[in-house]
Amino acid sequence: MNVDPSRLSIVSYPAPVLKQKARPLEAVDDEVRAVALRMIELMHDAEGVGLAGPQVGLPWRLFVTNGRDADPEDRVYVNPRLELERGDLESGEEGCLSLPGITVQVRRPLAATITALDIDGRTFTRSAEGMLARIWQHEYDHLDGVLILDRMSPMDRLANRKPIKELEAAARLVDDAPMSTRGLRG
């Protein structure tokens, strides 16, 4: 796949790529590194803490993070495998760069261990609790086509009904526009 990283942008719900299971990458090459660096840039520009391949329109098992206080380094996770700690779940507020204006309470395990390839193609394993474990789980969900919409309670669904409908309506407007007026979409 030939990807021009400069053309990548964050895609919004209901883009179909957000609901697809991403495929593993065969290698961490220059193209993957360039895409990862662009994703880090987009994540920072949007003031996010993570961004997954499907969120920039790529069905790749890749995500980037910068957990701020929880982990202030920019990190790249290629073909991650996530192990969740069994036991208590903790509820926490989550938003999503592909669902602007929507926040929901999501119950997740408190701790996780992740194994992935870094930006240089080296395997690493890390464990975390709290916010960083939550970020990993959120981004890993994206790789499996799962959105916070799929994890929201009936109360959150009701509270967010209007912004969800607005995102769907905006997508229909773009899809219905004549080809010559659409421009580039991420």
Contacts of 43 (CB under 8 A, 6+ apart): 49, 50, 51, 64, 65, 66, 97
5-41: per-residue pLDDT in tens? 999 999 999 999 999 999 999 999 999 999 999 999 9
Question: Can you tell me the mean pLDDT for 37-51?
Answer: 98
Report CA torsion sign: 124, 50, 56, 35.
negative
Distance between CA atoms of residues 111 and 11, nearest Å: 29
User: Which of 15-19, 149-153, 170-174 shows the lowest mean pLDDT across its residues?
Assistant: 170-174
Any idea how long the chain is? 186
Question: Can you tell me the mean pLDDT for 58-69?
Answer: 97
Decide: 135 and 49 in contact? Cβ < 8 Å.
Answer: yes
67-100: per-residue pLDDT in tens? 999 999 999 999 999 999 988 899 999 999 999 9
98-148: per-residue pLDDT in tens? 999 999 999 999 999 999 999 999 999 999 999 999 999 999 999 999 999
| Predicted confidence (pLDDT) at residue 152 exceeds the cutoff of 80 | yes
Decide: 114 and 136 in contact? Cβ < 8 Å.
Answer: yes
Distance between CA atoms of residues 106 and 159, nearest Å: 14
| Predicted confidence (pLDDT) at residue 183 exceeds the cutoff of 50 | no
The predicted structure's pLDDT at residue 172? 86
Which residues are catalytically annotated? Answer: 139
Give the distance, in angstroms, between the CA of residue 105 and the centroid of all CA atoms in the same chain.
17
| Predicted confidence (pLDDT) at residue 179 exceeds the cutoff of 70 | no
Domains plus CATH for the chain?
Answer: 5-178 (3.90.45.10)
User: What are residue 13's DSSP bridge partners?
Assistant: none
The predicted structure's pLDDT at residue 87? 85
